[in-house]
Amino acid sequence: MSVHREFVPNNEKYVSSFDKGHLALPPARHLTVVTCMDARIEPASQLGINLGDAHVIRNAGGSTKEALRSIVISQRLLGTREVAVFHHTGCGMLTFTNEHLRDKVKSEAPGNEVVAKAVDSIDFLPFPQLEESVKADVKFLKENPLLLEGTTVTGWTYDVTTGKIKQVV
Ligand SMILES: [Zn+2]
């Protein structure tokens, strides 16, 4: 059974006690969190962020490069002034290279040049070392001309086995 069949009954329960309809569009804490799409990560409870407090931008690995479009919107249109970058232990991004994934996609569509060209054009942004990748992503953001001057940027790791966070930069 597809999971989506559970959405409506679950949502009805949520709506029955929902009382946050008054929240404003701009995040109340002026914070943007960039983190991985990993299913074990749930920034709201892990960091004490309430509904309406922050933007949470998620992608494979928690890449600031990929998140840049959303960060510019978050800062320029919705007033956020702080960015916290989280990468985590056991991340899938530590387990492959661009060549790996490109070869896999191509082998699943043998002889298909359209697929080959499309997948070759994507940098999947894998990384071989956790803390170094946090530092590199924070550096990318701090050096980016589109980041608002004076933005506080911090970098962190999250341990999926203990639930603990650690500041790296
Ligand atoms: Zn991950």
CATH code for position 148: 3.40.1050.10
pLDDT of residue 67: 98
pLDDT digits (tens, 9 = 90+) for 6-29: 999 999 999 999 999 999 999 999
Maximum Cα–Cα distance across the chain: 55
Domain assignment present for residue 34? The answer is yes
Neighbours of 68 (CB within 10 A): 17
Residue 75 pLDDT? 98
- How far, in Å, is the centroid of ligand 1 from the Cα of 53? 23
Interval between CA 64 and ligand 1 midpoint (Å): 13
Ligand 1 centroid to Cα of residue 88, in Å, is 6
**Known binding positions for Zn(2+):** 36, 38, 88, 91
Rounded Cα distance between 60 and 8, Å, is 27
Domain count, the chain: 1
Q: Is residue 155 part of a domain?
A: yes
Work out the average pLDDT over 74-86.
Answer: 98
Residue 157 falls within a domain, yes or no?
A: yes
Distance 150 CA to ligand 1 centre (A): 28
In angstroms, the Cα distances linking 110 to 72, 98, 115, 117 are 39, 18, 9, 12
- Judged by phi (left if over 0) then psi (alpha if -120 to 50, else beta), residue 163 lies in left
pLDDT at 52: 98
User: How far is ligand 1, taken at its centre, from the CA of residue 77, in Å?
Assistant: 28
Instruction: Examine residue 7 and state whether it is found in any structural domain, yes or no.
Output: no
Domain region containing 50: 25-94+126-167
Domain annotation covers residue 44: yes
Is 54 part of a structural domain of the chain? yes
Q: Is 117 a domain residue? A: no
81 assigned to some structural domain = yes
97-135 confidence digits (pLDDT tens): 999 999 999 999 999 999 999 999 999 999 999 999 999
pLDDT tier at 1, thresholds 50, 70, 90? confident
Residue 150: pLDDT band (50, 70, 90) is very high
> What would the pLDDT profile of 25-79 be if each residue is shown by its tens digit?
999 999 999 999 999 999 999 999 999 999 999 999 999 999 999 999 999 999 9
Q: How far is the CA of 24 from the centre of ligand 1 (A)?
A: 30
Supply 113's token pair.
């040049």
Strand order in the sheet with 165-167: 54-59, 31-36, 82-88, 152-158, 165-167
